[in-house]
Amino acid sequence: MGVHHSTSKIAFSDSNLGEGTIIGVIDTGIWPESPSFNDEAMGQIPSRWKGICQGGKHFNSTNCNKKIIGARWFMKGISDQTKKLLQGNNSDEYLSARDAIGHGTHTASTAAGYFVGNANYRGLASGLARGGAPLAHLAIYKACWDFPIGDCTDADILKAFDKAIHDGVDVLTVSLGFAIPLFSYVDQRDSLAIGSFHATSKGITVVCSAGNSGPVSQTVTNTAPWIITVGATTIDRAFPAAITLGNNRTVWGQSIDMGKHNLGSVGLTYSERIAVDPSDNLAKDCQSGSLNATMAAGKIVLCFSVSDQQDIVSASLTVKEAGGVGLVYAQYHEDGLNQCGSFPCIKVDYEVGTQTLTYIRRSRFPTASLSFPKTVIGKWTSPRVASFSSRGPSSMSPTVLKPDIAAPGVDILAAFPPKGTTRSSGFAFLSGTSMSCPHVAGIAALIKSKHPTWSPAAIRSALVTTASQTGTDGSLISEEGSTHKAADPFDIGGGHVDPNKAMDPGLIYDITTEDYVQFLCSMGHSSASISKVTKTTTSCKKGKHQTLNLNLPSILVPNLKRVATVMRTVTNVGNITAVYKALLKVPYGIKVRVEPQTLSFNSDARILNFSVSFLSTQKFHGDYKFGSLTWTDGKYFVRTPIAVRTIQFE
pLDDT tens digits, residue range 27-66?
999 999 999 999 999 999 999 999 999 999 999 999 999 9
The DSSP letter of residue 273 is G
- Asked if 368 and 348 count as a contact pair (C-beta separation under 8 A), the reply is no
> Catalytic pick from 103, 439, 451, 525?
103
Report pLDDT digits (tens) over 416-439.
999 754 556 799 999 999 999 999
Worst-scoring range by mean pLDDT, 78-82, 255-259, 474-478, 528-532? 78-82
- Asked if 69 and 379 count as a contact pair (C-beta separation under 8 A), the reply is no
Stated as kind and residue range, the H or E segment containing 112 is: helix 103-112
Residue 9 scores a pLDDT above 50: no
Report pLDDT digits (tens) over 485-512.
999 999 999 999 999 999 999 999 999 9
- Asked if 370 and 263 count as a contact pair (C-beta separation under 8 A), the reply is yes
- Fold match, 240-374 / 550-646: no
Rg from Cα positions in the chain: 26
27 assigned to active site: yes
Q: How far apart are CA 354 and CA 344, in angstroms?
A: 20
Mean pLDDT of the chain: 92
Q: How far apart are CA 437 and CA 111, in angstroms?
A: 8
For 550-646, CATH number? 2.60.40.2310
Q: What is the 3-state secondary structure (H, E, C) of 144-185?
A: EEEECCEEECHHHHHHHHHHHHHHCCCEEEECCCCCCCCCCC
Dihedral Cα 541, 218, 457, 140, nearest 10 deg: 120
Q: How far apart are CA 196 and CA 206, in angstroms?
A: 6
Report pLDDT digits (tens) over 220-247.
999 999 999 999 999 999 999 999 999 9
Residue ranges covered by each domain of the chain = 10-84+100-236+380-461+471-503, 240-374, 512-540, 550-646
Q: How far apart are CA 594 and CA 587, in angstroms?
A: 14
Phi, psi of 432 (to 5 degrees): 150, 165
468 assigned to active site: no
For 240-374, CATH number? 3.50.30.30
> Catalytic pick from 27, 404, 498, 504?
27
Residue 209 pairs in a beta bridge with 230
For 10-84+100-236+380-461+471-503, CATH number? 3.40.50.200
Give just the sign of the alpha carbon dihedral 375, 379, 382, 386: negative
604 assigned to active site: no
Q: How far apart are CA 598 and CA 197, in angstroms?
A: 34
Q: How far apart are CA 288 and CA 68, in angstroms?
A: 44
Q: How far apart are CA 534 and CA 447, in angstroms?
A: 27
Q: How far apart are CA 58 and CA 75, in angstroms?
A: 17
Residue 572 scores a pLDDT above 90: yes
> Catalytic pick from 34, 36, 175, 434?
434
pLDDT, average across residues 203-229: 96
Confidence of residue 8 (pLDDT cuts 50, 70, 90): very low
3-state secondary structure of 479: strand
Give just the sign of the alpha carbon dihedral 576, 582, 585, 589: positive
CA-to-CA dists, residue 542 to 104, 522, 523, 546, angstroms? 44, 8, 12, 9
Model pLDDT, residue 650:
62
The DSSP letter of residue 10 is I
The model's pTM is 0.95
